Amino acid sequence: MLVLGGLSLLGGVITVAVLSQGVHDLVDSRALEGGGAMLVVGALGAAYLLLWQRNSRLLVGAGTFGYKDILGRSHTWTATEVGNVMDVTIRYRKGFAQEAVFVLGLDGRRIMAINPIAWRSTSVDRLVWATGRELQTRPGPISAAEFRREFPRAMSWASTHPNLIGSGLVVVAITLAIGIPIASIWLHR
């Protein structure tokens, strides 16, 4: 959170400095663009982390379980709705794997998935206990595509294709990075 806050502060200083001098050429517009991007990304990232820290909770009761999302909304289920609880390490691409605990319904659809690193191990153990099922631990990492083939309703298309989603976001960012300075120069003529 400190890194994101610092990024936002630095972006704010750059943005104010450029705006106080005025935007006269391409270098000024690029500095303004960079400062603005740092300000926005840092502020949004810090706000997300603050909301997550403030609102996100695992909810555990006798025969019921769930979570509160970053907006404070509760999502709960009963143990009778659970088919499997699995601890899986999913390999999204070479060199990047992420552990997750999936709670799957009787029909195989994902009820919830959590990253156990974000929670105390006792909280995850209590959550598994509340589902009424034994935790199944998959040995070794499995690719996202293989996991989706085995459990087709457990992962969305987007979660099995993070490289494609990431590439799309990069294309959008590059388009904006090129388009904003060109538009600002064109508007100042």
Mean pLDDT throughout 13-21? 85
Distance CA 141, CA 95 (A): 11
Mean pLDDT throughout 106-130? 91
Distance CA 67, CA 59 (A): 5
What rounded mean pLDDT belongs to the chain?
A: 86
Element (H, E) at 87: strand 82-93
Q: Are 73 and 66 in contact (CB under 8 A)?
A: no
Distance CA 10, CA 43 (A): 11
Distance CA 61, CA 68 (A): 14
The answer on pLDDT for 81 being more than 90 is: yes
Least-confidence region, from 61-75, 117-131, 162-176: 162-176
Task: For the chain, give every domain's residue range.
Answer: 1-55, 75-157
Question: Which DSSP category does 23 fall into?
Answer: -
pLDDT of residue 55: 87
Mean pLDDT throughout 106-116? 91
Provide the CB-side half-sphere exposure for 8 (13 A, CA): 13
pLDDT of residue 180: 75
Q: What is the pLDDT of residues 131-169, one digit of tens each?
A: 999 999 998 899 888 888 888 888 877 777 777 887 888
Closest to 59 measured CA to CA, from 112, 16, 11, 23: 112
The answer on pLDDT for 2 being more than 90 is: no
